[in-house]
Amino acid sequence: MTIEKIGVIGAGQMGNGIAHVMALAGYEVLLTDINQQALDQALETIRRNLARQVGRGLVPEADMEDALGRIGSTLKLTDLGATDLVIEAATERESVKQAIFEDLQPHLRPHTILTSNTSSISITRLASRTDRPERFMGFHFMNPVPVMQLVELIRGIATDEETYRACLGVVERLGKTAASAEDFPGFIVNRILMPMINEAVYTLYEGVGNVKSIDQSMKLGANHPMGPLELADFIGLDTCLAIMNVLHDGLADTKYRPCPLLTKYVEAGWLGRKTGRGFYDYRGDEPVPTR
């Protein structure tokens, strides 16, 4: 099937990044959110990030204007019914995602493919609540979307080959690389990454090292571009905790037990960069470790 028009649900960090790369690749994009301010901010973020790419010589200025012209926005979820592919990038809560698909489903074309940008929730289970499990799959972008080259494609138990091939074609048109993952908790990237971050939090919790020494050790000792606690703040501590809970519940192994300190930070509302405080305090000119 031919995919030309793409709907993106959620105008947050992931949603605006997905809209950005899709429009730049020539797709017509319709971005939706429940909040007009979020949509306005997303469009401004896309414009700013495209301008940065133009400034670095990565994107011609004419392509930037063309891409911006291909992005529409709406507060009505049902407007996405006329698209060929829907990518849900809403809050990482299964009940929220299920409600979105339930509301959208009656308005979809028969051929429309439904996908979720979930980082850990079962694709098979999400698909089973829709009228098209064979045309449903995981479409997991990495953050920040315009920069990161990998996209995880996750097939549910019912996903058909045509749907997989259509989504693979989109990834290739974006100039990114697809990694095929089976539908198990955390898929590939987060199955490996999140336990490492969680172990870093345990290392802090148990007093083995402080924030600075833990991050410095992994940057200089393992050549990681960001320390694990710095990376957790970038991702969002609430997202890290949600993924660890999915791993712990889905795999029933104590090695995936979320660190109590991670839970405490989330309870405090210290979620990382997006709230101004996490393992670092971002409210000043330079980030300062909070422990």
Q: Supply the CATH number for residue 259's domain.
A: 1.10.1040.10
Any known ligand binding at 216? Answer: no
Residues 62 and 121 placed together within one structural domain of the fold:
yes
Q: Starting at the edge strand that comes first in sequence, how are the strands of the sheet with 136-141 ordered?
A: 71-74, 28-32, 5-9, 85-88, 113-116, 136-141, 150-155, 177-182
Q: Is 20 a catalytic residue?
A: no
Catalytic residue among 88, 94, 152, 230: 152
Any known ligand binding at 36? Answer: no
Give the torsion sign (CA, 205, 211, 216, 218).
positive
Residues 157 and 224 placed together within one structural domain of the fold:
no
Residues 178 and 94 placed together within one structural domain of the fold:
yes
Residues 219 and 161 placed together within one structural domain of the fold:
no
Q: Is 210 a catalytic residue?
A: no
What would the pLDDT profile of 83-126 be if each residue is shown by its tens digit?
999 999 998 889 999 999 999 999 999 999 999 999 889 999 99
Residues 157 and 202 placed together within one structural domain of the fold:
no
User: What is the value of pTM for the model shown?
Assistant: 0.90
Residues 205 and 238 placed together within one structural domain of the fold:
yes
Any known ligand binding at 15? Answer: yes
Query: What is the rounded distance in angstroms from the CA atom of residue 90 to the CA atom of residue 32?
Result: 10
Domain end residue (candidates: 182, 212, 240): 182
Q: Give me the number of domains the chain comprises.
A: 2
In terms of Cβ atoms closer than 10 Å to its own Cβ (0-12, 13-18, 19+), residue 22 is buried
Residues 139 and 46 placed together within one structural domain of the fold:
yes
Q: Is 140 a catalytic residue?
A: yes
Residues 154 and 195 placed together within one structural domain of the fold:
no
Residues 98 and 24 placed together within one structural domain of the fold:
yes
For residue 237, the surrounding DSSP H or E stretch is helix 237-251
Any known ligand binding at 14? Answer: yes
Catalytic residue among 119, 120, 122, 198: 119
| Distance of alpha carbon 120 from the chain centroid | 10
Any known ligand binding at 253? Answer: no
Residues 249 and 178 placed together within one structural domain of the fold:
no
Q: Is 180 a catalytic residue?
A: no
Residues 146 and 65 placed together within one structural domain of the fold:
yes
Instruction: Read off the CATH number of the domain in which 93 is found.
Output: 3.40.50.720
Catalytic residue among 122, 190, 198, 230: 190
Smallest CA-to-CA distance from 240 within 195, 179, 174 is with 195
In terms of Cβ atoms closer than 10 Å to its own Cβ (0-12, 13-18, 19+), residue 177 is exposed
HSE value, Cβ hemisphere, 13 Å, CA-based, for 185: 15
What would the pLDDT profile of 149-199 be if each residue is shown by its tens digit?
999 999 999 999 999 999 999 999 999 999 999 999 999 999 999 999 999
Domain end residue (candidates: 182, 212, 234): 182
Domain that holds residue 238: 191-289
